[in-house]
Amino acid sequence: GAVVSQHPSWVICKSGTSVKIECRSLDFQATTMFWYRQFPKQSLMLMATSNEGSKATYEQGVEKDKFLINHASLTLSTLTVTSAHPEDSSFYICSARQWGALQETQYFGPGTRLLVL
């Protein structure tokens, strides 16, 4: 199957700093990537849809100025958590959408665990 990587796999930062997370599709091009957040023992919640060459689309309740998304190429999307606070601590997962035979499937990265002190 298609491979998606994320970097870093975990990060610890001080409150008020910004953190950038990268999501890469390694063996296919993805015009659309997605960013999710997963709280402990809960499901994945979609935060935003990242579109190559255009602005991201954010889900209701997600602050676009807080979570900056850039999709500058067909294989890379970045999520920057700006001025991070302890409540932003979470597991962030990206996915990349692949098209094939009129079907689309999302392939997921391994996730990035963020801890804000």
Which residues are at the interface with other proteins (CB under 8 A)?
Answer: 1, 4, 32, 34, 42-46, 49, 93, 95, 97, 102-111
Q: How far is the CB of 46 from other proteins (least distance, A)?
A: 6
What is the C-alpha separation between 65 and 109, in angstroms, rounded?
24
What is the C-alpha separation between 71 and 27, in angstroms, rounded?
17
Q: How far is the CB of 16 from other proteins (least distance, A)?
A: 30
Whichever of 38 and 80 has its CB closer to other proteins, that residue is 38
Q: How far is the CB of 27 from other proteins (least distance, A)?
A: 15
Look up residue 15 and give its two tokens: 């409150």
Q: Are residues 71 and 65 in contact, defined by beta-carbon separation less than 8 angstroms? A: no
Q: Are residues 67 and 80 in contact, defined by beta-carbon separation less than 8 angstroms? A: yes
Q: Are residues 35 and 99 in contact, defined by beta-carbon separation less than 8 angstroms? A: no
Whichever of 1 and 53 has its CB closer to other proteins, that residue is 1
Whichever of 1 and 86 has its CB closer to other proteins, that residue is 1
